[in-house]
Structure 1
Amino acid sequence: MHRYEEIEAYVMDMIRNGTLKEGDQIPRETELAELFHTSRPTVRQALSKLTLNGTINRIKGKGSFVQHTKLEQEYTRFISSYRAELQKKGLNPRTIVVNLEEISASEPVAHKLNLEEGAPVIKLCRLRFAGDDTAKRPAVLTTVYIPKAMCPQLLEIDFQSASLYETLESFGLAVTHVLREIEIRTAVPKISRRLMVKDFSPLFFISSIGRIADGRVIEYSESYYPADTSKFIVEITR
């Protein structure tokens, strides 16, 4: 094992055994160089690898810190509610409803839903949290549009506690097919304020079109995930 690999393993072991926790500063370059009887360039090689794999965050003039663990999102693998997905991971998700209202469909939204521009749609905007502390940063900001004619009862539902997919299923409108597109965007001020991130920081943007069994489009959604706290799993088999 090369000396830089020993340093890398040493830092990883401290994180795994709890000696170093998220946000903690790791030993400085000079300390690691002295501990392993090696040069600072060798230490920097180890720290560069730890930075590239997302283990630490190096801040110029301050040092290196344990990076926050990214939440594995399976939104790209399954048709499932956000609540059900996180509960499978042993987490207790919480939701804040930003707004739930009837609006007239803009041209882009109408196109996604196969409606005429101006048709009535239900707009549901929610902030989703991975835990029960809503004072922390949200995990995702999601806005979904549903044709009002297909399920007007949604305007009466408390989506702070109710699941949209489970509610639709209870009305005989289970989502059976979803097409999702994922790209990287930067956080404009309106989005960054809600997600509690810096303006123009990177975000995962996922647009989603959901259909029911007869092929009709039941939902179009737009979701923003902070790139520094989320990662996505895509599983492919042959």
Structure 2
Amino acid sequence: MTKPKYEQIQAELLTRIQNGTYPEGSVIPKELDLAENFNVSRPTVRQAIEALVNAGYLERKRRVGTRVRQTKLAQEFTHVIRNFDSEMAQNGVIAKTTVLYFHEEVANTEVQHALKLEDGAKVYKLLRLRFADDQPVVLVTTYLTRAGLDDFDQIDFANASLYEELDQRGLTITHIERKLEVLAADETTASLLNVDTGAPIFYFHTYGQTKDHQPLEYSIAKYRGDNNYFTISLDR
């Protein structure tokens, strides 16, 4: 039996998505244009598109249109201590980092509490925007205690791994605690991560300690909600 028209259109649109005619993140033609192209009514096209939205291949964005959903990146750092480049390599994508800010400053109350510092203590503040295949994925603000890191401000963290640099100085982070929140993106975060203001963002607060349980790192990582998912492994 011949398939209904909307299923034929659905199959053709899916083929175009899979062969790259409509790349990830691109906006597909408008319903009216597709209706003319396939010589069918607009409701028939809408039915085909809705089926692909429900299947997770397309998404509707206000004031943008219907676009191809991006494949979500698996993040396993909820149960493994691993750097960002390794995570991205496992996903088969190319990682890139842009350093937005890196300076020494006086720790605020939140950072003092997280790193168990006294009033007036100084820390390094490192702000990095991290990409996967040129798409922004996560905005990370990291605070580090100054002890044993006198030369840290000379390192180019656009190309160097933070954890590897700490390892080289005998300051390996061996224990991490993470707290997760899901919040709405503010205007600045939304602009940097290329999402709408108010879009859901995963906020991870990371507390890193050395083997002798000394606090060393406090990070706030803001992950896009639309192109990341997190795996959690539990044993009993």
- State the TM-score bracket (shorter-chain normalisation): 0.7 to 0.9
Is the Cα contact below 8 Å between 2:129 and 2:136 reproduced in 1?
yes
Q: Partners in 2 of 1:77 and 1:55 — Cα distance? A: 29
Give the whole-Å Cα distance in 1 for the aligned partners of 2:61 and 2:106: 47
1:99 to 96, 101, 121: 101
Q: Separation in 2 of the partners of 1:62 and 1:161?
A: 34
Q: Tell me the residue number matched to 1:116.
A: 118
Give the distance between the partners of 1:52 and 1:115, measured in 2 at CA: 50
TM-superposition CA deviations, 1:120-175 (whole Å, max 9, x none): 111111111113x4xxx421110100111242221221111110000000001111
Runs of 4+ displaced beyond 6 Å: 3-10, 60-63
Report if aligned partners of 2:209, 2:217 keep a CA contact under 8 Å in 1.
yes
Paired residue type of 2:222: Y
The residue identity in structure 2 corresponding to 1:72 is A
Of 147, 151, 154, which residue of structure 2 is paired with 1:149? 147
Partner Cα distance (1:188, 1:123) in 2? 20
Partner Cα distance (2:55, 2:223) in 1: 19
Give how far 1:177 is off.
1.1
Query: Relative to 1, partners in 2 of residues 1:66 and 1:91: Cα closer, same or farther, differing over 3 Å?
Result: closer
Match of 1:179 among 164, 177, 180: 177
Q: State the identity as a percent.
A: 35
Matches within 5 A, 1:1-238: 12=14, 15-18=17-20, 20-22=22-24, 23-25=26-28, 28=31, 44=47, 48=50, 50-52=52-54, 54-59=56-61, 64-131=66-133, 133=134, 137-238=135-236
Say if 1:180 and 1:209, in contact at 8 Å, map to a contact too.
yes
What value does the CA root-mean-square deviation take over the aligned residues?
A: 3.3
How many residue pairs match? The answer is 230
| Closer/same/farther in 2, CA of residues 71 and 26 from structure 1, 3 Å limit | farther
CA displacement at 1:83 relative to structure 2: 1.5
Query: Structure 1: which amino acid aligns with 2:28?
Result: Q
Shift of 1:92: 2.3
Aligned mates of 1:210, 1:56 — CA distance in 2: 38
Residue type at the aligned position of 1:73: Q
What TM-score comes out, normalization by structure 2 length? 0.80
Cα distance in 2, alignment partners of residues 144 and 169 from structure 1: 16
CA distance in 2, matches of 1:60, 1:100: 36
User: Take 2:62 and 2:129, find their aligned partners in 1: how far apart are those partners?
Assistant: 33
Unpaired stretches in structure 1, ≥5 consecutive residues: none
SS in 1 for 2:192: helix
Q: TM-score, normalised by structure 1?
A: 0.79
CA contact (8 A) 1:97 1:124 kept: yes
Between 120-129 and 194-203, report the one with greater CA deviation.
194-203
